[in-house]
Structure 1
Amino acid sequence: MKKSVKWVISVLFCFLVITIAAFNVYGNTQSGLQGNLKNRLEVFMDKKALDSQFNGVVLVAKDGKGVFEKGYGFANKETGIPNQLNTQFRIASLTKSFTAVSILQLEKNGKLKTSDPISKYINHFPDGDKITIQHLLTHSSGVADHSKLTDTTKPITLTAFINLMKNQALTFNPGTKYMYSNTGYMILAYIIEKVSGKSYQTYFRDNIFKPAGMDHTYFKKADAKDFAMGYRNMRKVVERDDESQLAGAGDIISTVGDMMRYNNAIHDFKILSPKEIEKMETGYIDTSKLGVFKYGYGWKVANNLISFGRPMIEHNGSLPGFKCEIVDFIKDRVTVIVLSNNTGTWNSGELARKLASICLGTKFWFYQKYF
């Protein structure tokens, strides 16, 4: 072999070794962290809060029990009230899993089937015979975005909302693609009311909040005594949209503790059976062309490099002034809950999975932050 070829091979080999070493250092969230698990999580999170101006509350749990819980910044900067474990935040789209749980409970009780067309529950809905409940659950129904059709600053009843949607054509054929839809989950909230004979709020309280022990969870800001003000880069955000415009899709207010109780109630089989949980946590449709995440019922699902090769469910939520995330490694029973009242450029999924990687004793690779 010629010397020049050997030289090129040697250089490439050295480059490969250096690159792998660099990735190991860059990818290792635990690099430089010492002490027990709680101390490592706190050191990491304290630095992250300082670097990214994180404002909110974080809870990390193992086997259903909190190993690290801490508040950062202010619930109300103007009055100097700090974020604490009892601070209540808008959980935005984390609400969707509650709607999905309700649908699965009603299915178990023989009140509906996720394979049912919605025409069975809503008369004269356009193409209602083509749209199934599962299409709504997996954001693949093709229904139009109601927020572009009405004044979202004004209250709307679910009946008025359904009447509005009866005048809209589908944007694509149901089941052919994924398109995230708050509107679809509002339709599900209406179906819950139609089938159960209760308002969806009452249904949630009776069948999820109470069994789970969620005593600090609400639908209305006026009911939440320890509500956090919303900020963007620590500048107060004025809430304009009415809470009713996200019924069943993004209107719950809760605490990290109550969200942990909810997660435990699911996986301890208090509110769903193993059969329903498996159905909820199965991915049915790709949420992106790369196929990194699939969508189940109210959750994104992954079991690949993004999730450290482990089964994981995840969901984020975002509203003006609020950002949140739940990441749950369901086989490892590692759960991370992030509730924040200061939006910005930080990535909630990246933060939650980095905290989880510390618990799992695995590396967080550089490419994972982009998902």
Structure 2
Amino acid sequence: MKKSVMWTFMTLGVFLLLLIAALITYGSTMHSDLSGNLQQKLGAFMDKKKVENQFNGVVLVAKDGKVLFEKGYGFANSEEGIPDRSDTEFRIASLTKSFTAVSILQLENQGKLKTTDPISKYIANFPNGNKITIHELLTHSSGIADHLKLTDTTKPITMSAFIDLMRKHKLEFNPGSKYKYSNTGYMILADIIEVVSGENYGTYFQEHIFTPAGMHHTYLRKADAKNFAVGYENMRKIVERDDESQLAGYGDIISTAGDLLKYNNAIHNDKLLPPSKIEKMETGYIDSASWGIFKYGYGWNVADNFISFGRPLVEHNGSLPGYKSDLADFVNDRVTVIILSNNQGTWNTGALSRELASITLGKRFWYFQKNF
């Protein structure tokens, strides 16, 4: 009887070992099929993605703030045969949120506001404004309704008209009780920036972020962009319908991969914020993905677990009709991946960024990570 039990356990043990070996072999990759130096490996990998995902855009990978790999794929304007290049300007969509978060923290650093302040301190007669804090706007936990469902987004809207619109609607849940991604919250933050600074938020961005970081190819209006990429859906030209004013503070920035690297470097080099505020921005406060894989900080998703190869990561993606973006920064390793695309599809920008990072870091990439 004892021998039977022992053999059963030994068989199970062997089975488990074989199962683990199979999972490692078939459930992940070290990209051992790629050859050459690191730049050549990244290039070969992206050449495959160009075919598999119809990738159209620019990819940049940096180490210690310096470009390791940068290449454009496909067309900025397919109809006119203009290729995507390093100077092509894209809508970065929700990557804009981090700029709004930086601005709020700059104003806090100057003693002009606190993230613990209720928004009623800056916006009068806002329903439950005494219950909603700036922190809750930053972390998508305010409970404020979605303005995109309440207005005609194809028409221009002023900030005052936007605030008046939001005054008419009740909270969807108690502030701070749960996470619900909110573009509207960041548009309200843009209004608070204007109230506190006395400047138009776009002017504030220019004077306090774009210029100090050396971002000379970054704009808020399509009309200002000189090398703007046309948006496509599966390489079919889309018609941009939303007015840019409807994207204020959360999705209206247009930039290049190189300028976004300058922005990221300016954060790392403390040009925009002191270390204490950077730490505050890059701290995860509330679960923003299943099983707590990502937590949301201020304008960034934060991870330090298997999804980020056990290394601290701040990341955010963006999506608008015709455009996708991602910036993934492994803060301790100083490995940064920036993806800007003008061909929207079903592929996952975050997964692509992290897989490029896995090649750069020499880490195993698990196939299930593509789902996050």
TM-score category (smaller protein): over 0.9
Alignment check: 8 A CA contact 2:98 2:298 kept = yes
With 6-15 and 232-241 compared, the bigger mean Cα shift is at 6-15
> Hey, what's the Cα distance between the residues in 2 that align with 1:128 and 1:353?
39
Gaps of 5+ in 2: none
Aligned-partner residue type, residue 82 of structure 1: P
> Hey, what's the Cα distance between the residues in 2 that align with 1:217 and 1:29?
36
The two structures have a TM-score, normalised by structure 1, of 0.97
Q: 1:356 to 1:172 in 2, by over 3 A?
A: same
> Hey, what's the Cα distance between the residues in 2 that align with 1:230 and 1:176?
37
Structural mapping, 1:10-89, within 5 Å? 10=11, 13-14=14-15, 16-24=17-25, 26-89=27-90
Shift of 1:2: 4.6
Aligned-partner residue type, residue 177 of structure 2: T
Shift of 1:367: 1.8
Structure 2 match to 1:155: 156
Structure 1 match to 2:323: 322
Deviations 1:106-162 (A, max 9, x none): 000011000000000000000000000000000000000001111000000111100
Aligned-partner residue type, residue 172 of structure 1: F
Alignment check: 8 A CA contact 1:25 1:31 kept = no
> Hey, what's the Cα distance between the residues in 1 that align with 2:258 and 2:117?
35
Alignment check: 8 A CA contact 2:60 2:67 kept = yes
> Hey, what's the Cα distance between the residues in 2 that align with 1:185 and 1:344?
25
Alignment check: 8 A CA contact 1:29 1:354 kept = no
Alignment check: 8 A CA contact 2:309 2:363 kept = yes
> Hey, what's the Cα distance between the residues in 1 that align with 2:334 and 2:18?
35
Structural mapping, 1:247-258, within 5 Å? 247-258=248-259
> Hey, what's the Cα distance between the residues in 2 that align with 1:152 and 1:135?
24
Structure 2 match to 1:99: 100
> Hey, what's the Cα distance between the residues in 2 that align with 1:18 and 1:134?
45
Shift of 1:22: 4.3
Structural mapping, 1:275-314, within 5 Å? 275-314=276-315
Structure 1 match to 2:147: 146
Give secondary structure in 2 for the equivalent of 1:209: helix
Structure 1 match to 2:342: 341
Structure 2 match to 1:193: 194
CA RMSD across the alignment: 1.4
Aligned-partner residue type, residue 73 of structure 2: Y
Structure 2 match to 1:111: 112
Q: 1:29 to 1:219 in 2, by over 3 A?
A: farther
> Hey, what's the Cα distance between the residues in 2 that align with 1:151 and 1:93?
20
Structure 1 match to 2:231: 230
Deviations 1:252-297 (A, max 9, x none): 0000000000000001111111001000000011113411110000
Shift of 1:370: 1.0
Alignment check: 8 A CA contact 1:323 1:348 kept = yes
Give secondary structure in 1 for the equivalent of 2:346: coil
> Hey, what's the Cα distance between the residues in 1 that align with 2:143 and 2:8?
58
> Hey, what's the Cα distance between the residues in 2 that align with 1:262 and 1:230?
24
Shift of 1:5: 6.7
Shift of 1:6: 2.6
Give secondary structure in 1 for the equivalent of 2:72: strand
Give secondary structure in 2 for the equivalent of 1:301: strand
Aligned-partner residue type, residue 232 of structure 1: E
> Hey, what's the Cα distance between the residues in 2 that align with 1:150 and 1:364?
43
Deviations 1:230-261 (A, max 9, x none): 11111111110101101011000000000000
> Hey, what's the Cα distance between the residues in 2 that align with 1:169 and 1:4?
64
Structural mapping, 1:234-249, within 5 Å? 234-249=235-250
Aligned-partner residue type, residue 260 of structure 2: M
Give secondary structure in 2 for the equivalent of 1:368: helix
Deviations 1:184-230 (A, max 9, x none): 00000000000001000000000000000000000111111110011
Structural mapping, 1:197-212, within 5 Å? 197-212=198-213
Give secondary structure in 2 for the equivalent of 1:179: coil
With 353-362 and 20-29 compared, the bigger mean Cα shift is at 20-29
> Hey, what's the Cα distance between the residues in 1 that align with 2:283 and 2:117?
18
Shift of 1:100: 0.2
Give secondary structure in 1 for the equivalent of 2:291: coil
Alignment check: 8 A CA contact 1:215 1:258 kept = yes
With 25-34 and 138-147 compared, the bigger mean Cα shift is at 25-34
Alignment check: 8 A CA contact 2:30 2:362 kept = no
With 37-46 and 113-122 compared, the bigger mean Cα shift is at 37-46
Identity, in percent, stands at 67
> Hey, what's the Cα distance between the residues in 1 that align with 2:30 and 2:148?
40
The two structures have a TM-score, normalised by structure 2, of 0.97
Structure 2 match to 1:182: 183
Give secondary structure in 2 for the equivalent of 1:198: coil
Aligned-partner residue type, residue 222 of structure 2: K
Query: How many residues are treated as equivalent by the alignment?
Result: 371
Alignment check: 8 A CA contact 1:336 1:352 kept = yes
Shift of 1:8: 7.5
> Hey, what's the Cα distance between the residues in 2 that align with 1:81 and 1:103?
38
> Hey, what's the Cα distance between the residues in 2 that align with 1:306 and 1:38?
23
Shift of 1:35: 1.6
Give secondary structure in 2 for the equivalent of 1:290: helix
